[in-house]
Structure 1
Amino acid sequence: MKNTLLIGCCALLSLTGLRAQDSWNPAEEAVIRSTRPDGRLGSSYAIAHQLMKDLKPRLAFCPDFTREEMVNWQREVAEAMKTLMCFPDYQPEQAPICISRQPRDGYVLEKWEFYPLPKAVCTFLVLRPDSIEKPTPAVFCIPGANMSKEGLAGEPGIVPLLNDNYQSDKVAMARSFAKRGYIAVAVDNPAAGESSDLEKYDRGRDFDYDVVSRMLLEMGWSYLGYAAFLDKQVLDWMKQEPYIDAKRILVSGFSLGTEPLMVLGVLDPSIYGFIYNDFLCQTQERACVMTYPMADGRRPFPNSIRHLIPNFWKYFNFPDLVAALAPRPLLLTEGGLDRDFELVQRAYELSGHPSQVEMHHYAKFADPTVRHQLDSLPEGLDRDSYFKLVNVDPANHYYKNEWVFPWLEKIGFGKKEQLQK
C-alpha cells in the first residue's frame, strides 16, 4: 500500500512538473531582466551576460584617430594579436616538399607536404597555370567550415564521403584563380578535409572541430591560433617560391576562412590584399543579443568553441581587425550592417586610400532602402532574427566570383594579358 501511494505521488509530481514546464513562455524570457527592485541579477547566465555587455575592447578602432594615432593603433593591434595567437617558438626541421604533380586543363595540380611541429605533417595544394610569367601574383585560399582544400581546387575529397560540391565555381575558388592565370594555394582548416580524423568512415563532412578545439584550449592555445600558425607556414613558403611574386600575394577567405585571414593580415604587413567572403559583424554584440531560448530550454551561443580565443574581446572585434588592414586592397562581399562597413571605410579614409576598399551586400539587401540601418541591435534575438537584422541571406552564402574578378582587374592585380591566357 505504501509503495502504491509513493508511486502515485511521484507520478502526480511528475505531471505537475511537466505542466509547469509547458506553461512558460520563451518570448517572455527572451530579454535578460532583473526581477529585483535593486536591479541585481540572480542567474549565473545573467551575471556572465552582463559582464560580457559591459566589456569594452581596449583596442577598438576610433573614427577620430589622427593618421599617426591610427598607425600606432595598428601596431598595438598586431602586438595584441601576436600575444593572443600563442604561436609556438618552433622552426620546422624540414622544408615543404612536393609529393605529386598532375596535369589539369590549363594548370598543374601539385600536392605538397609541410612539417609544422615535431611528429606532424600537413598538406596543401598548389594550382600552377601552364603559362605564367616568373614571378607571378598568387592567391592563398582558405576554406569555410565543413569544406576542404580539395573542394577549393575543384577536386574530389580524399574519400567520397569528404566530397564538397567541388564542380561548382561557388566552391572551387582556387580553381577559378588558376583558370585566370594566378597561382593558387589551397589549405585545409584544422580538423577538416585531409586533416580530419574518423569522419572519412562515417560522419563525412560533418567534421568534429570541438574535440580538437577543447584539447588546444586546455593547453593554453586555441583553434584559430593553431589554424593561423599552420597557414603562416604555408604563407612563408609562398614568399620563398621562385614562381610567386612575394609582393603580390593576396589572401582569400571564405566564411570560417576569414578568421585566419584577419590574423595573417594583422601580423604580416607584406600581404598585398584581401578577399573577405563573409558578412562582417561585431561578434561580441552577436553573443550579447542572441538570448532567445531554444526549443530545448537553453539559451543559444552563436558559435562553437572552435571560435573561442581567450581574452579576444578584451582587445577588439572583427570590424576593428578588418579596419586594421588599411590601406591594403580589401574586398568585402557579403554585407552586414552599414554601421560596420562605415567603420572600415573610415579607416581607409584615415590611411589616405579610401578607394582601396570595396564593399558589397547580399543581392537581397543591395538596395539600401531594404537594409536595416541600426547603430545597435536589440537583445532577445534568435539566429534567424539576428541574420535578418544584420542583412544576411544565409541561403546565398557562397564564394562571390562575380565580385572578385572584376575587383582584381580594377586594382591591377596581375597583368591583363596574363589573365586572358
Structure 2
Amino acid sequence: MFPQYIDSTYTNREDGRFLSTYGYVLSLLEKTKPQLAYNPHMSQPEFQNWKESVRKAMLELMKFPEVANQPGPIRLSSDQREGYILEKWEFYPLPGCASRFLVLKPQKRPDKCPAILCIPGSGRTKEGLAGEPGIFSEYTEDINSEHVTMALDYVKAGYIAVAVDNAGAGESADIEHYKMGSNYNYDIISRILLELGWSWLGYTSFLDMQVLKWMKAQNYIDTKHIIVSGFSLGTEPLMVLGVLDKDIFAFVYNDFLCHTQERAIVVTKPQKEGYRAFPNSIRHLIPSYWKYFNFPDVVASLSPRPIIFTEGGLDRDFELVKDAYKKDGAIDNIECHHYPKFENERNRLQINKLPKGLDTSTYLQKVNVDPSNHYFKSELVIPWINKIISKSK
C-alpha cells in the first residue's frame, strides 16, 4: 500500500527535515503565501492599488515581447452563410510567425455591433467554435452540437464573433492529424518556450492580445462592448487578457473556478505505477505564478466588469470574488452557476480546506465538478450577455 501523501508539516525526523525531495518541495509549496492574494480587509484605495499590482505582475509573468514593423492582418476569404458572413483572417504577430482567426458577422446588424472574442478549450479549434469542418477531417468536432459551437451561437444571437485557436491546435498544430487527431501535443511547445524563458500561456495570450487589438480597431465593432469568452483551457488566456486590457467590457468564464496551488498540494495520491503525478501538464506552467496569486485572486481583480461563471467550483472561492465585487459596489455584475448536479446548494460540498492525498477524480467531486457535463453553456451565457448589454446602454 502506497502512502497517500507526505504531510509537509511533519516528518519522522527529530530535526523536522525531509530526506524525501518530494516532501521538501511540497513543504515549500505549502508554505508559499502569494504576495498578491486577495485580502478582504483591504481598504478601497488599497483595493484599487492591489488591482494595479496584479496587472503589473501579470505583465511581468507573461513576458509579452515588444514587436514593431510587422505587416497588418489580411483577409484571406469571405463566405456567405445562412444569416451571417464568415471571414478568415491571417495576422503576423512576430517575425517568422503567422496565425489565423475567424470572424462571424451577422447579416443584419447595427453600424457598430458588440463583439465576442471566443477562445476554445483543449483539443478544440476555431473551426469547431464556428460550426465549420476542421482543416483536416481528423480535427472536425461535433459541429452539430451547440455544446461546441460557441462562436456560431453568438453570431446567431446577433453578435460579431471572433474565434481563435489555442497555440499548437488546429491550423497551428504540427503532424497530429496523421495519427493523433485532436490530441494536440501542447507539451513539446510548452517545453521549448519554457527553456527560452517564456511559457505556453504567455505565448498564446500574446497572440490573442493581437487579435483583441485588431478588434478594437474595426469601425463596425462596438468597442465599448467587447467580451472575452473562454471555454475550459480558454479561461486561462481570458484571465490574462482581462487583467492586462482594461477596455474589455465583460467575461464568460466557462469552466470551474479553482485554487491551483491548493490543487497541487492535495492531489498527491500515487498512481498505480507507483509515483505521484502533477495534476496539470506543463502547458499550465508559468514560472513564479504562485508567488503572486491564484485564479480566484486574478478573477477578483477583474471587478467591477461583468462576469459569468457557468460551471461552479467551491463556494469558498466564489465568496472571495464576490467580496471584491462588493467592494466596487458591483455585486450585480457577477453571476455564478454550478453544474446542474450541484446547482442546489444542498448537493454541494462546503469545504474551506481540502484534504490531502486525493486523486483527480476525487478532487473534482469534492470541488463540485461534473466532468461529463463540461461543455459551452450557451443556454446560460447568451441570455446573460443580452441582459448586461441592454443594461449598459
Per the TM superposition, whether the score is higher than 0.5 is: yes
| In the alignment, structure 1 residue 363 sits paired with structure 2 residue 336 | no
Q: Distance in 2 between matches of 1:200 and 1:388?
A: 33
* Structure 2 unaligned regions, length at least 5: none
Shift of 1:175: 0.2
Question: Which residue in 2 is equivalent to 1:96?
Answer: 73
Q: Is the 8 A contact 1:31 1:292 kept in 2?
A: no
Contact 2:6 2:23 in 1 (8 A): no
Distance in 2 (CA, whole Å) between partners of 1:376 and 1:101 is 52
Q: Distance in 2 between matches of 1:414 and 1:148?
A: 32
Amino acid of the structure 2 residue aligned with 1:30: Y
Q: Which residue of 2 aligns with 1:226?
A: 203
| Equivalent residue, structure 2, for 1:3 | none
Kindly tell me the number of residue pairs found equivalent between the two proteins. 391
CA distance 1:241–1:414, change in 2 (3 Å): farther
Do the aligned partners of 2:115 and 2:226 also contact (CA within 8 Å) in 1? yes
AA matched with 1:147:
R
TM-score, scaled relative to structure 1: 0.91
Flag the 1:415–1:359 CA change in 2: closer, same or farther, 3 A: closer
Aligned partner of 2:83 in structure 1 is: 106
- Residue 39 of structure 1 and its aligned partner are, at CA, apart by 3.0
- TM-score, normalisation: structure 2: 0.97
In the alignment, what sits opposite 2:251? Answer: 274
Match of 1:388? 365
Q: What residue number does 1:15 align with?
A: none
1:243 corresponds to 2:220: yes
Deviates more, 1:92-101 or 1:172-181: 92-101
Partners of 1:154 and 1:42 lie apart in 2 by 54
Tell me the alpha carbon deviations over residues 88-139 of structure 1, each in whole angstroms, 9 at most, x when there is no partner.
1102521111100111111011000000111111000000110111111000
Q: Deviations over 1:37-73 (max 9, x none)?
A: 3332111111110000000000001111122111100
Flag the structure with larger Rg. Answer: 1
* Residues 377-412 of structure 1: CA deviation (Å, up to 9, x unaligned): 111000011001100000100001111012112213
2:48 matches 1:71:
yes
Structure 1 partner of 2:232: 255
Cα distance in structure 2, aligned partners of 1:47 and 1:413:
54
2:277 to 294, 300, 319: 300
Cα distance change of structure 1 residues 378 and 92 upon mapping to structure 2, 3 Å threshold: farther
Residue 208 of structure 1: aligned partner: 185
Structure 2 vs 1, CA of residues 36 and 96 (structure 1 numbering), >3 Å: closer, same or farther?
same
Following superposition, the deviation at residue 414 of structure 1 comes to 9.1
1:412 aligned counterpart, secondary structure: helix
Could you tell me how far 1:242 is from its partner in structure 2?
A: 1.2
Q: Tell me the secondary structure at the aligned position of residue 186 of structure 1.
A: strand
1:11-410, aligned counterparts within 5 Å? 25-26=1-2, 28-32=3-7, 34-410=11-387
**CA displacement, residues 301-332 of structure 1 (integer Å, 9 cap, x when unaligned):** 11100000000000000000100010001001
Equivalent position SS for 1:346: helix
Judge which range, 288-297 or 34-43, deviates more: 34-43
What residue number does 1:18 align with? none
Percent identity between the two aligned chains: 54
